[in-house]
């Protein structure tokens, strides 16, 4: 089985990002480049990282009218991404057109509900009911639209996997054992997320901010 760890390369400068990647590349399965990286380093930056030989997850979270999203999908073929993201709240037609425009073999996954939104924030945007209900509703819509899967938290992935057996699920927000936030009960480890059905584990700071990133990545890999 291939390594499910995708390193979130949320690093503002390109050379340190490449240096980090060189150190950990033997222990990860791919690299996630987000909006911050793309806006800062553009096409050049993506190509520089892609030349290092690992699969690229382009996390640009597209959300626009179907025609625009489809055109953007076509424009990113040049990077040959393994995984790309769109917002499920863009609607069914947008997701269908995004999938149709994606390169063959590229996984198109939907963001359901940003974890930065709590129940009050959701209500303020006109979304009533719990965050879980909204995640499940949008996951169903993504499934119906023919996407490959969704992005979800380690707390939700088990529930989503039950409803969507062959889905491709991307899970961020993970913390290896002992890599504590104060609130240990809510921490999901990479291993637990994997056991609950995650296909891809997005891990950033537990590796990038570790004293020894190579060792941190190796240790996480070993738990899987
Ligand atoms: O927290 P960490 O540095 O491991 O985050 C890795 C990546 O996952 C970051 O790019 C972050 O934006 C993303 N993330 C997310 N949802 C969360 C937590 C993190 O999309 N709940």
From the list 83, 92, 64, the residue with the least C-alpha distance to 200 is 83
Ligand 1 pocket mutation, candidates 157, 202, 205, 206, criterion most atoms within 8 A of CB: 202
Quote the distance between the C-alpha of residue 3 and its chain's center: 15
> For 62, phi and psi rounded to 5 degrees?
-60, 140
Residue corresponding to tokens 């129940």: 119
Contact 84, 108 (CB under 8 A): yes
pLDDT above 90 covers a percentage of the chain that reads: 88
User: Which residues form ligand 1's pocket by a CB distance below 6 Å?
Assistant: 8, 10, 34, 115, 153, 172-173, 202-206
For ligand 1, what atom is nearest to the CA of residue 114? 16
Which of 60-74, 106-120, 147-161, 172-186 bottoms out in mean pLDDT, i.e. has the lowest?
Answer: 172-186
Give the model confidence (pLDDT) of 111-141 as tens digits.
Answer: 998 888 888 999 999 999 888 899 999 999 9
Distance 91 CA to ligand 1 centre (A): 24
Q: Which residues contact 214 (CB under 8 A, 6 or more apart)?
A: 23, 24, 27
Q: How many other CB atoms are there within 10 angstroms of residue 65's CB atom?
A: 13
**Spacing, Cα 84 to ligand 1 middle (Å):** 15
What pLDDT is attached to residue 41?
A: 95
| 183 has pLDDT over 80 | no
- Strands (DSSP E) along the chain, which ranges? 5-8, 30-34, 56-62, 83-87, 107-111, 149-151, 168-171, 200-203
- The closest of 166, 116, 158 to 136, measured between CA atoms, is 158
User: 138-156: per-residue pLDDT in tens?
Assistant: 999 999 999 999 999 999 9
Instruction: Label the pairing between strands 149-151 and 83-87.
Output: unpaired
pLDDT band at 179 (very low <50, low <70, confident <90, very high): low
pTM for the whole structure: 0.94
Active site residues: 61
How far is the centre of ligand 1, averaged over its atoms, from the C-alpha of 142 (Å)? 21
> How many residues appear in the chain?
224
Classify 91 as helix, strand or coil.
Answer: coil
Report d(CA 166, CA 92) in Å as an integer.
19
54, 64, 188 from 156: Cα distances, Å: 28, 26, 11
Residue closest via CA to ligand 1's atom 5 equals 204
Choose which CATH entry (3.40.980.10, 3.90.1170.30, 1.20.1050.90, 3.20.20.70) describes domain 5-223: 3.20.20.70
Q: How far is the CA of 221 from the centre of ligand 1 (A)?
A: 18
User: Which residue out of 172, 181, 188, 206 has the highest number of ligand 1 atoms within 8 Å of its CB and is therefore the one to mutate?
Assistant: 172
Q: What is the mean pLDDT of the chain?
A: 94
**Per-residue pLDDT averaged across 77-90, rounded?**
97
User: Is the pLDDT score of 30 beyond 90?
Assistant: yes
Domain boundaries, the chain: 5-223
Nearest protein Cα to ligand 1, atom 13 = 172
Considering the chain, what percentage of its residues have pLDDT values greater than 70?
A: 96
The pLDDT value given to residue 1 = 65
Instruction: Evaluate if residue 105 carries a pLDDT over 60.
Output: yes
49 Cα–ligand 1 center, Å: 19
């Amino acid at each position: 089985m291939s390594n499910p760890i995708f390193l979130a390369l949320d690093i503002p400068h390109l050379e340190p990002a490449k240096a980090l990647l060189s150190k950990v590349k033997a222990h990860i399965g791919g690299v996630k480049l987000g909006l911050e990286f793309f806006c800062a380093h553009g096409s050049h930056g993506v190509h520089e990282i892609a030349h290092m030989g690992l699969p690229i997850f382009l996390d640009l979270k597209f959300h626009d009218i179907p025609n625009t999203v489809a055109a953007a999908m076509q424009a990113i073929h040049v990077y040959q991404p393994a995984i790309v993201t769109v917002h499920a709240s863009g609607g069914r037609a947008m997701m269908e057109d995004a999938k149709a425009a994606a390169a063959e073999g590229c996984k198109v996954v939907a963001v359901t509900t940003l974890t930065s939104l709590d129940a009050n924030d959701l209500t303020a945007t006109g979304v009533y009911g719990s965050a879980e209900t909204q995640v499940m509703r949008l996951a169903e819509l993504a499934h119906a639209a023919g996407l490959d899967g969704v992005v979800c938290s380690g707390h939700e992935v088990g529930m989503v996997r039950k409803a969507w057996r062959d889905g491709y699920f991307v899970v961020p927000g993970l913390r290896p054992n002992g890599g504590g936030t104060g609130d240990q009960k809510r921490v999901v480890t990479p291993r637990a997320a994997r056991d609950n059905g995650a296909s891809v584990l997005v891990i950033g700071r537990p590796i990038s901010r570790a004293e020894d990133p190579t060792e941190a990545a190796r240790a996480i890999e070993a738990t899987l």
